[in-house]
Amino acid sequence: MGIPYKHPVAITGIIGFIGTGLPPFVAIRADMDALPMQGTVVLVFQPAEEGGGGAKKILDTGALENVTAIFGLHIAPELPIGEVASKSGPLLAGSGFFEAKISGKGGHAAIPQQSIDPILAASNVILSLQHLVSREADPLDSQVVTIATCQGGSAFNVIPDSVTIGGTFRAFSKQSFNQLKQRIEQKVKSEMNMLGINKVESAMTPFMGAEDFSFYQEVIPGYFFFLGMKNAEHERFVPSLHSPYLKINEDGLPYGAALHASLAASYLLKHQQDIVPGVERKYRDEL
Nearest CA among 54, 236, 272 for reference residue 281? 272
Residues 133 and 217 in one domain: no
d(CA 73, CA 84): 9
Query: For residue 282, is it within any domain?
Result: no
pLDDT recorded at residue 164: 92
Q: What number of helices (H) and strands (E) belong to the chain?
A: 5, 13
84 and 114 assigned to the same domain: no
Encode pLDDT of 90-116 as tens digits. Answer: 777 778 889 988 888 888 989 888 888
281 in a structural domain:
no
Burial of 175 (0-12, 13-18, 19+ CB in 10 A): exposed
Q: How far is CA 247 from CA 76, 252, 260, in A?
A: 11, 12, 23
Q: How many CA atoms lie within 13 A of 70 on its CB side?
A: 23
Q: Are residues 177 and 123 in the same domain?
A: yes
Pairing of strands 40-45, 13-19: antiparallel
Q: Is residue 193 part of a domain?
A: yes
- Using CA atoms of 85, 49, 287, 30 in order, give the dihedral in degrees to the nearest 10: -50
pLDDT band with cut points at 50, 70 and 90 for residue 37 = low
In tens, the pLDDT along 188-211 reads 888 777 766 666 666 665 555 566
Residue 242 has pLDDT above 90, yes or no: no
What tens digit of pLDDT does each residue of 44-96 get? 877 776 666 778 888 888 878 888 888 888 888 888 888 888 877 777 777 88
Structural domain ending residue among the three candidates 160, 188, 207? 207
| Mean pLDDT of the residues in the chain | 79
Is 72 found in the same domain as 123?
Answer: no
When divided into structural domains, the chain yields a total of 2
- What domain range includes position 16? 5-90+211-274
Given 207, 240, 261, the domain boundary residue is 207
Q: What is the pTM of this model?
A: 0.59
Q: How confident is the model at residue 151 (pLDDT cuts 50, 70, 90)?
A: very high
| Consecutive H or E run containing 67 | strand 67-76
Distance CA 224, CA 123 (A): 39
pLDDT of residue 34: 41
Predicted pLDDT at 147: 92
